[in-house]
Amino acid sequence: MANVTVIGAQWGDEGKGKIVDWLASRADAVVRFQGGHNAGHTLVVGDKVYKLSLLPSGIVTGTLSLIGNGVVLDPWALKAEIEKLEGQGVSITQENFGIADNCPLILPLHRDLDGLREQAAGSGKIGTTGRGIGPAYEDKVGRRAIRVCDLAHLDDLGPQIDRLCAHHDALRAGFGQKPIDREQLIEDLRGIAPFVLQYAQPVWKRLKKVRKAGARVLFEGAQGVLLDVDHGTYPFVTSSNTVSGTAASGSGLGPNATGFVLGIVKAYTTRVGSGPFPTELEDETGQRLGERGHEFGTVTGRKRRCGWFDAVLVRQSCAISGVTGIALTKLDVLDGFETVTICTGYRLGGKILDYLPSHAGDQAKVEPIYEEMEGWKGTTAGARSWADLPAQAIKYIQRVQELIETPVALVSTSPEREDTILVRDPFMD
Ligand code: GDP
Ligand code: IMO
Ligand code: MG
């Protein structure tokens, strides 16, 4: 019965991949339920580094890994990623991998549009990953998407292609681009169809069977709550709902299946792309956090913006996503700092706020109220038990959980799978 839903509680890159990989050996199935190959999840196992964008992180332990209907799937990116992982010795078969046949596809025209819009947006640029995520979700909601199941019926695609092209050709003309080459698109889809179809299935049905057998399901979120299209720092967000509630709709199980909601929280804050970031440090300290934490994007290689821990944001994310407990990651990055700083509230126009307001202008204007704590002399890097942590680091963790009003279930102290402290087993809840 005990399932676990892993979500990012900040702006992504909190270390979800590492934690999902660690938990995967205790799960019977891992399911991705939203996002696409804009995600970049890094797993370190011994001397091997795996970078996953579309495949669930359970694939590395060989756990049944499923891509749910809530994901937008670029079939060519999928093939490339499977081939890359197979090259690293990971086995991906019809036994351990499946794709929901009702997943919408990301097509080359989506990537084109993502790029064209970003180029044209001037100061309104979102700083997307350029993977076509937004346009693909728009077509899903606009009822123009081509889905995985359509790959088995390419000869009947006429009316759908008409609908898709009517929309995109008009947009493309506005950008001075040629209309979509329909023949080429169908040809490309015909080329990739057999590869995708070998894994396609009604994932909801597979999950129903798995659950009936009493198996434990691990739902793997991508991005983070502050990138959620409703609850995040709109419009500087991604185009899916990243909150825990999506685990149900994006996989085909009811909301009672999501179980323990594990929010992944970095011990400081980072963000890639544009948008407000109250605790951002554009100084040597920010530089130092970025260097110590190797804060470069997995997908685009972009430098991540860095800042102190923002308890206001994480408290908000935990509330919105119904977080049961958090995994606090990258604590080791704070080793060696004389003092560590936490944002406990905001000032806006003479008022004190205990939440991030909804308006982008207000979000950009809030000034953090900080609390400073003594740092720790010893190291937390590689710690695997509470007893290995310096007393001052424990105080930091305790202050974090107090401020975010949510308990700590796990602490991560290095990129390596086993460098993880278990405080409370999320599967045992
Ligand atoms: P995700 O998108 O949430 O899966 O996170 P990313 O993989 O994009 O970024 C997290 C980075 O931090 C990766 O390079 C991980 O290997 C690394 N990482 C994860 N946990 C820890 C940790 O506890 N300490 C350190 N130093 N690095 C970590
Ligand atoms: P993981 O799963 C961090 C950000 C982009 C951009 C915004 C919109 O690795 O945590 P999109 O391409 O989704 O339309 O871009 O969202 N973004 C991420 N930032 N981690 C991610 O995934 C992200 N996926 C998207 O940088 O600001
Ligand atoms: Mg990432």
Q: Relative to the CA of 275, which ligand 2 atom is closest?
A: 27
**What is the secondary structure of 77-144 as a DSSP string?**
HHHHHHHHHHHTT----TTTEEEETTPBBP-HHHHHHHHHHHHHTGGG-----SSSHHHHHHHHHTT-
Contact 23, 59 (CB under 8 A): no
pLDDT surpassing 60 at residue 69: yes
Residue ranges lining ligand 1, Cβ < 6 Å: 8, 12-18, 40-42, 44, 294, 298, 329-330, 332-333, 412-415
Ligand 1, atom 8, residue with closest C-alpha? 13
pLDDT surpassing 70 at residue 1: no
Q: Is the CB of 8 under 6 A from ligand 2?
A: yes
How far is C-alpha 139 from the geometric centre of its chain's CA atoms?
21
> Percent of the chain scored above 90 by pLDDT?
96
pLDDT surpassing 70 at residue 362: yes
The string of pLDDT tens digits covering residues 151-184 is 999 999 999 999 999 999 999 999 999 999 999 9
Contact 330, 266 (CB under 8 A): yes
CA of 218 to the centre of ligand 2 (A): 21
CA of 375 to the centre of ligand 1 (A): 21
pTM of the predicted protein model? 0.97
Name residues with Cβ closer than 5 Å to ligand 3, which is an ion: 13, 40, 298
Block residue for tokens 């905001």? 346
Q: What is the rounded distance in angstroms from the CA atom of residue 272 to the CA atom of residue 130?
A: 13
Ligand 2, atom 27, residue with closest C-alpha? 273
Confidence of residue 245 (pLDDT cuts 50, 70, 90): very high
Q: Is the CB of 336 under 6 A from ligand 2?
A: no
Ligand 1, atom 12, residue with closest C-alpha? 15
The string of pLDDT tens digits covering residues 413-424 is 999 999 999 999
Contact 65, 97 (CB under 8 A): yes
Ligand 2, atom 16, residue with closest C-alpha? 238
pLDDT surpassing 60 at residue 40: yes
The string of pLDDT tens digits covering residues 105-137 is 999 999 999 999 999 999 899 999 999 999 999
Ligand 2, atom 23, residue with closest C-alpha? 223
Task: Give, for ligand 1, the residue of 32, 50, 299, 329 to mutate: max count of ligand atoms closer than 8 Å to Cβ.
Answer: 329
Q: For position 429, what pLDDT does the model report?
A: 65
State the Cα angle at 268 between 424 and 14, rounded to 5°: 60
First to last CA, the chain: 10
Q: For position 302, what pLDDT does the model report?
A: 86
Q: Relative to the CA of 129, which ligand 2 atom is closest?
A: 12
Q: Is the CB of 307 under 6 A from ligand 2?
A: no
CA of 183 to the centre of ligand 3 (A): 36
Region 294-313: what's the mean pLDDT?
Answer: 92
Closest ligand to 118 CA? 2
CA of 242 to the centre of ligand 3 (A): 13
Q: Which residues are catalytic?
A: 13, 41
Q: Is the CB of 39 under 6 A from ligand 2?
A: yes
CA of 303 to the centre of ligand 1 (A): 14
